Chains A and B, each alone.
Chain A
Amino acid sequence: MKVHLKVWRQSGPNVKGRLVDYTADQVSPDMSFLEMLDSVNETLIAKGDDPIAFDSDCREGICGTCGVMVDGRPHGPDSCTTVCQLHMRRYKDGDTIVIEPWHAKAFPLIKDLVVDRSAFDEIIQAGGYTSVNTGGAADANAILIPKTAADEAMDSAQCIGCGACVAVCKNAAAALFTSAKVTHLSLLPQGQMEAAARVVAMVDAMDTAGFGGCSNEGECEAVCPKGITLKNIATMNREYRKAMFANR
């Protein structure tokens, strides 16, 4: 089948970008969305044109490297699916697809569909860890953790840091990303020691990096490829208030 594309092209951060039309011929339904883009790039390269820059790595939905707006929705139409796992069987012959980069002040554009998401690393640096050095850890079974707590912590910990939550949010807030890490560590005994300092530092880092405030509308949950829920944001807010009282 054949699909028409309107792709955001912008050769660098300080130049004007625009949507450019392309046609992907010979698209098979078993192709992934990114393989379809690969095929367009193959044609461009063979003609000596600059291929469309987009990020991807593992192509199995776990590394969080890929991510583009597909018809205005991060990662495309399927729920709980990264764009590398979106397949062309979702589309019909003759469809037109608009492909754009994440738009957010804290994610400056590098080229075409590639943005800089290092602001996420800064949030983790601020406190998304337990302060234990290598060596000296007690036997792993010395601390019992209820299965339900471990399972819930895992639900939050599986965030892949792709940035879809920021891209879809009208405030470009990073609340879902930040709260997933806060929640993961707050559910486990290992995370208790620094819980108050962690949540305050991470929320501050989120604001400093230029992300907007959360207004609880939930688009982030709807587009998260890993199904991270709004409950995480509620947990972060509770932890934050607890920390504020504790600090008085």
Chain B
Amino acid sequence: MTLDSKVPSGPLADKWDRHRFDSKLVNPANRRKHTVIIVGTGLAGASAAASLGELGYNVLSFCIHDSPRRAHSIAAQGGINAAKNYQNDADSTWRLFYDTIKGGDYRAREANVYRLAQVSANIIDQCVAQGVPFAREYGGQLDNRSFGGAQVSRTFYARGQTGQQLLLGAYQSMMRQVAKGSVTMFTQREMLDVVLIDGKARGIICRNLVTGTLERHVADAVCLATGGYGTAYYLSTNAVNSNVTAAWRAHKRGAFFANPCFTQIHPTCIPVSGDDQSKLTLMSESLRNDGRVWVPKNTGDKRHPNDIPEADRDYYLERKYPSFGNLVPRDVASRNAKAMCDEGKGVGDSGLAVFLDFKEAIGRLGRDTVAGRYGNLFDMYRKITDEDPYKEPMRIYPAMHYAMGGLWVDYNLMSTIPGLHVLGEANFSDHGANRLGASALMQGLADGYFVIPYTLAHYIASTPVAKATTDHDAFKEAEHAVQARINRLLAGKGTKTPRALHRELGRLLWDEVGMSRNDAGLRRALRRIPELREEFWQNVAVPGDPNNLNKNLEYAGRVADYLEFAELLATDALHRTESCGGHFREESQTADGEAKRDDENFAYAAAWAWQGDGNAPELHKEPLVFENVKPSQRSYK
């Protein structure tokens, strides 16, 4: 199969306009006759449901939570990028495009990224119209801050709760459509399969998590906005219920999975404290605007940080990257933290942490200003660690945070299954091998508010679909398969909990497919994962009733999917012998230890096709063509 990205021809800056003009439309009076299923209610899913509902489509929206407002977009802290140039610091659509392509280490599609930069400004306008309370200057205008990987201030924010405010804006817009009847909300539903009729995505099978009932839903098209797969690592900054199940089940029905090895390890998280920890907490990257990262110059210096004089401190990011300093991109910051700890300069009991110090900022700006910018983050840090960051430096360490990889989509956000569209973090499209800070919110909302309303209309208008009901054999077959898998899980009367097995998988992935990867380690992981999977099915304990709220059963199903997905993740990491962005192969580095790309052999998106249980996945390549930027060795020095 040849992957057709469907990128329109013509100059980069005109592609989206031209594409919108060339796209077919659905007459307003006909839209209500078309049903669209949207799975997930984070930024991408909620904004898509609201926008499509406003246009008049019959939208069915699904989420696993008790309310759509709980989706994990809500936890995003720092901000959202937009090329507004409100700060008069030479920002532009072109610069946001360039920063994003370069930040992604030249592994994203030019046309998608340019479109993202183009619509970024509309997102801010839309959110302000909804009443999102962005931070403002005394003159009443919007305030901006700067973020990693950029030398301009283009990040809009609402204290340290930007994701919350943007999500509530999208959620409220969606609830308005629920009241109007154009969106029907299905909460506490977990999508467990995509249903294909005549090769097109026509519905889903989901489990009602409260009653245990399996439900069939039919539509003209399906959109997945189900987030990333970071929880495969067990400990991550993702919510504990975030999972890969919907995307993975779609993959097994024919949607290619692209670049799964492009994972983002976020540099500023609260370090691991013990074995019982269930998640890691992010400290927003915005802290690096004013916080200075350092370690003791001498290995084994166990003095209290406040007792270590300036002369004995190594502000290693400022030293190694004078032009970007503490604001280097996330992958660079994470790798350097690991390198310092590997040299024995790590701090804290575990030695797996570095300092993030606000003493200089508090001296320069005053405690009140620092509290105004980061107060809620400081409070969160104090609650978790029992230490006061106003008085002593924070200890931080990298943690799994975001998935740049995801289901492969074309320019229209459609996967390799016709009619199955993928939005937000669940797709692979815009961030290449490394996402810049404050760009996830931008992409989720771009996909939902400003891309899918056009591209889905084109799909619906140009694709005749047969009338179908949920009595179709394809629904029966899919429901039967889902039921069989649930029965198999419930038959598990072993002694190991899903959590214990998940924790074991997570440790393996963190050690072998984490911040730094090599051939031997990846091969070890690929040997171990099938063993763990075998152990899961032999020895997992899933007590309780299937016809009732059974969170352990839900969790067991997700862990079973991680155990399949992890193998693809490691396979992709092994095949890509270059380093790029968040994917660092020890065999491929420059003389000074930076990621070394291999454009000759790897300038492509790796899209994997499922070949059935026990068979190796098949690799398809989408070549990445750069007509407007020249891939170069990234330098933040």
Chain A residues with CB under 8 A of B498: 45
Contact across chains for A124 and B159 when beta carbons are under 8 A apart: no
Contact across chains for A130 and B129 when beta carbons are under 8 A apart: yes
- What is the number of residues of chain B that contact chain A, defined by CB distance less than 8 Å? 85
B541 on the interface (CB 8 Å rule)? Answer: yes
Contact across chains for A39 and B126 when beta carbons are under 8 A apart: no
Contact of A157 among B51, B168, B282 (CB under 8 A): B168
Contact of A120 among B67, B158, B279, B380 (CB under 8 A): B67
Contact of A46 among B172, B496, B545 (CB under 8 A): B496
Digitize B23-63: 1 where CB-to-A-CB distance is under 8 Å, 0 elsewhere.
00000000000000000000000010011001000000000
Contact across chains for A134 and B126 when beta carbons are under 8 A apart: yes
Which B residues between 65 and 100 are near A, CB-CB below 8 angstroms?
Answer: 65-70, 72, 74-75, 84, 86
Chain B residues with CB under 8 A of A190: 128-131
Contact of A134 among B50, B139, B168, B274 (CB under 8 A): B50
B343 on the interface (CB 8 Å rule)? Answer: no
Contact across chains for A121 and B175 when beta carbons are under 8 A apart: yes
Complex CA distance for A129 and B127, rounded to whole angstroms: 11
Contact across chains for B72 and A63 when beta carbons are under 8 A apart: yes
Contact of B179 among A56, A60, A126, A151 (CB under 8 A): A126
Contact across chains for B500 and A42 when beta carbons are under 8 A apart: yes
Contact across chains for B449 and A161 when beta carbons are under 8 A apart: no
Chain B nearest CB from A137 CB (Å) reads 4
Chain A residues with CB under 8 A of B542: 45
Of all chain A residues, the one with the shortest Cβ separation from B556 is: A45
Of all chain A residues, the one with the shortest Cβ separation from B138 is: A147
Chain A nearest CB from B327 CB (Å) reads 24
Contact across chains for B277 and A89 when beta carbons are under 8 A apart: no
Of all chain B residues, the one with the shortest Cβ separation from A186 is: B131
A111 on the interface (CB 8 Å rule)? Answer: yes
Contact of B133 among A80, A128, A154 (CB under 8 A): A154
A103 on the interface (CB 8 Å rule)? Answer: no
Complex CA distance for A34 and B171, rounded to whole angstroms: 27
Q: Which of B194-202, B352-360, B520-528, B547-555 contacts A (4 or more CB under 8 A)?
A: B547-555
Say yes or no: A118-B129 contact (C-beta < 8 A), given A46-B497, A48-B493, A49-B543: no
Chain B nearest CB from A145 CB (Å) reads 5
Contact across chains for A48 and B125 when beta carbons are under 8 A apart: no
Q: Which of A24-32, A167-175, A237-245 contacts B (4 or more CB under 8 A)?
A: A24-32
Chain A residues with CB under 8 A of B214: none
Chain A residues with CB under 8 A of B470: none
Of all chain B residues, the one with the shortest Cβ separation from A123 is: B175
Of all chain A residues, the one with the shortest Cβ separation from B449 is: A134
Say yes or no: A51-B548 contact (C-beta < 8 A), given A60-B281, A132-B130: no
Digitize B554-567: 1 where CB-to-A-CB distance is under 8 Å, 0 elsewhere.
00000000000000
Q: How many of chain A's residues touch chain B, expressed as a range?
A: 35 or more
Say yes or no: A132-B72 contact (C-beta < 8 A), given A51-B552, A57-B241, A117-B66: no
B627 on the interface (CB 8 Å rule)? Answer: no
Say yes or no: A157-B70 contact (C-beta < 8 A), given A57-B239, A140-B125: no
Contact across chains for A45 and B176 when beta carbons are under 8 A apart: no
B268 on the interface (CB 8 Å rule)? Answer: no
**Most B-side CB within 10 Å, residue of A32, A56, A120, A141:** A141
Chain B nearest CB from A51 CB (Å) reads 5
Chain B residues with CB under 8 A of A35: 276-278
Contact of A137 among B129, B159, B276 (CB under 8 A): B129
Chain A nearest CB from B334 CB (Å) reads 20
A196 on the interface (CB 8 Å rule)? Answer: no
Contact across chains for B75 and A58 when beta carbons are under 8 A apart: yes
Which B residues between 171 and 216 are near A, CB-CB below 8 angstroms?
Answer: 171-173, 175-176, 178-179, 185, 187, 210
A179 on the interface (CB 8 Å rule)? Answer: no
Complex CA distance for A62 and B164, rounded to whole angstroms: 8
Digitize A10-54: 1 where CB-to-B-CB distance is under 8 Å, 0 elsewhere.
011000000000000000101110110011011011101111010
Complex CA distance for A89 and B274, rounded to whole angstroms: 14
Contact across chains for A134 and B51 when beta carbons are under 8 A apart: yes
Complex CA distance for A87 and B279, rounded to whole angstroms: 14
Chain B nearest CB from A77 CB (Å) reads 13
A71 on the interface (CB 8 Å rule)? Answer: no
Complex CA distance for A141 and B477, rounded to whole angstroms: 54
A247 on the interface (CB 8 Å rule)? Answer: no
Complex CA distance for A196 and B317, rounded to whole angstroms: 54
Chain A nearest CB from B84 CB (Å) reads 7
Complex CA distance for A138 and B545, rounded to whole angstroms: 53
Complex CA distance for A141 and B495, rounded to whole angstroms: 60
A158 on the interface (CB 8 Å rule)? Answer: yes
Complex CA distance for A233 and B133, rounded to whole angstroms: 19
A144 on the interface (CB 8 Å rule)? Answer: yes
Contact across chains for A134 and B176 when beta carbons are under 8 A apart: no
Chain A residues with CB under 8 A of B282: 60
Complex CA distance for A40 and B139, rounded to whole angstroms: 54
Of all chain B residues, the one with the shortest Cβ separation from A12 is: B548
Contact across chains for A28 and B276 when beta carbons are under 8 A apart: yes
Chain B residues with CB under 8 A of A2: none
Chain B residues with CB under 8 A of A65: 65-66, 70
A232 on the interface (CB 8 Å rule)? Answer: no
Complex CA distance for A86 and B450, rounded to whole angstroms: 40
Chain B nearest CB from A122 CB (Å) reads 9
Digitize B340-379: 1 where CB-to-A-CB distance is under 8 Å, 0 elsewhere.
0000000000000000000000000000000000000001
A139 on the interface (CB 8 Å rule)? Answer: yes
Contact of A55 among B66, B139, B173, B175 (CB under 8 A): B66
Contact across chains for B239 and A58 when beta carbons are under 8 A apart: yes
A215 on the interface (CB 8 Å rule)? Answer: no
Chain A residues with CB under 8 A of B274: 28, 30-31
Contact of A129 among B125, B130, B241 (CB under 8 A): B130
Contact across chains for B548 and A153 when beta carbons are under 8 A apart: no
B142 on the interface (CB 8 Å rule)? Answer: yes
B632 on the interface (CB 8 Å rule)? Answer: no
Contact across chains for B240 and A153 when beta carbons are under 8 A apart: no
Complex CA distance for A200 and B130, rounded to whole angstroms: 19
Contact across chains for A45 and B66 when beta carbons are under 8 A apart: no
B122 on the interface (CB 8 Å rule)? Answer: yes
Of all chain B residues, the one with the shortest Cβ separation from A45 is: B497
B499 on the interface (CB 8 Å rule)? Answer: yes
Of all chain B residues, the one with the shortest Cβ separation from A146 is: B140
Contact across chains for B66 and A116 when beta carbons are under 8 A apart: yes
A114 on the interface (CB 8 Å rule)? Answer: yes
Contact of B86 among A32, A133, A141 (CB under 8 A): A141
Contact of B543 among A12, A28, A48 (CB under 8 A): A48
A75 on the interface (CB 8 Å rule)? Answer: no
A143 on the interface (CB 8 Å rule)? Answer: yes
- Top 10 A-B pairs, shortest CB-CB distance: A144-B140, A129-B172, A137-B129, A137-B125, A153-B133, A140-B128, A134-B51, A154-B133, A57-B239, A125-B179
Instruction: Identify 15 new A-B residue pairs, CB closer than 8 A, beyond the known A63-B72, A154-B159.
Output: A28-B274, A42-B497, A45-B543, A48-B493, A51-B543, A51-B544, A57-B239, A57-B241, A117-B66, A120-B67, A129-B172, A130-B172, A140-B125, A141-B142, A145-B136
Which A residues contact B (CB, under 8 angstroms)? 11-12, 28, 30-32, 34-35, 38-39, 41-42, 44-46, 48-51, 53, 55-65, 78, 80-81, 85, 87, 89, 110-111, 114, 116-118, 120-121, 124-126, 128-135, 137-141, 143-147, 150-151, 153-154, 157-158, 160-161, 184-185, 188, 190-191
Which B residues contact A (CB, under 8 angstroms)? 47, 50-51, 54, 65-70, 72, 74-75, 84, 86, 122, 124-131, 133-142, 158-159, 161, 164-165, 168, 171-173, 175-176, 178-179, 185, 187, 210, 239-241, 273-274, 276-279, 281-282, 379-380, 383-384, 386, 449-450, 453, 493, 495-500, 541-545, 548-549, 551-552
> What are 10 inter-chain pairs, A to B, with CB distance below 8 A?
A31-B274, A51-B551, A55-B66, A57-B65, A60-B380, A121-B175, A133-B54, A134-B126, A135-B126, A140-B128
